[in-house]
Amino acid sequence: MDQSASFDVQIAAMLPRLRRFAHSLSRNRDDADDLAQSTVERALRSRSQWQRGTRLDSWMFKIMRNQWIDGLRSRTRKERFEAPPEAAERVAAEPEGGLEASVELHRAMDAMERLPEEQREIVALILVEGFGYQETADMLGLPMGTVASRLARGRTTLLELMGAR
């Protein structure tokens, strides 16, 4: 397999993770899809900038975060999103065995959406995507202490929002 095909295959394998992170940033399914697509497009156009031997996922997440920040800066105002009423109907229609887990997942997702943006992106990268503190610090261009304190505040806030504290 040539390097180009390997690059494309690796990016394709990352799509679910990219969409999750995009959703944690945008809090909207359609915007998340657009952000994931534009991230992949930029990565494919800029593939020569990726250094072989480095983590492709870190590079992709950094591209996505930069795309998101660029989009925020270009907007004149921030938009707020709420889960559509149909989401409650979907939860109620699920089989009994998965109902409790589904309700808990929706509570966690709602709580994530209410986190301040700087905490939400740290929580998403470390707790959801499994990146380490140093990788996250490098990706976001932040000191390690800032990442650690935002994660601690994010965890505490999540627990409070979910009624666990």
CA separation for the pair 82, 9 (Å, rounded): 34
CA separation for the pair 13, 56 (Å, rounded): 11
The architecture (CATH level 2) of 115-165 comes to Orthogonal Bundle (1.10)
Q: Where are the domains of the chain?
A: 1-81, 115-165
DSSP assignment of 19-73 = HHHHHHHH-SHHHHHHHHHHHHHHHHHTGGGS-TTS-HHHHHHHHHHHHHHHHHH
User: What CATH number does the domain located at 1-81 have?
Assistant: 1.10.1740.10
CA separation for the pair 94, 39 (Å, rounded): 33
CB atoms within 10 A of CB 4: 10
Q: What is the dihedral of CA 137, 141, 145, 150, to 10 degrees?
A: -80
Q: How much is the pTM?
A: 0.56
- Express each pLDDT in 112-128 by its tens digit: 888 898 899 998 899 88
- Express each pLDDT in 71-121 by its tens digit: 877 664 344 444 445 555 554 555 555 666 666 777 778 888 888 988 999
Place of tokens 């992949």: 40
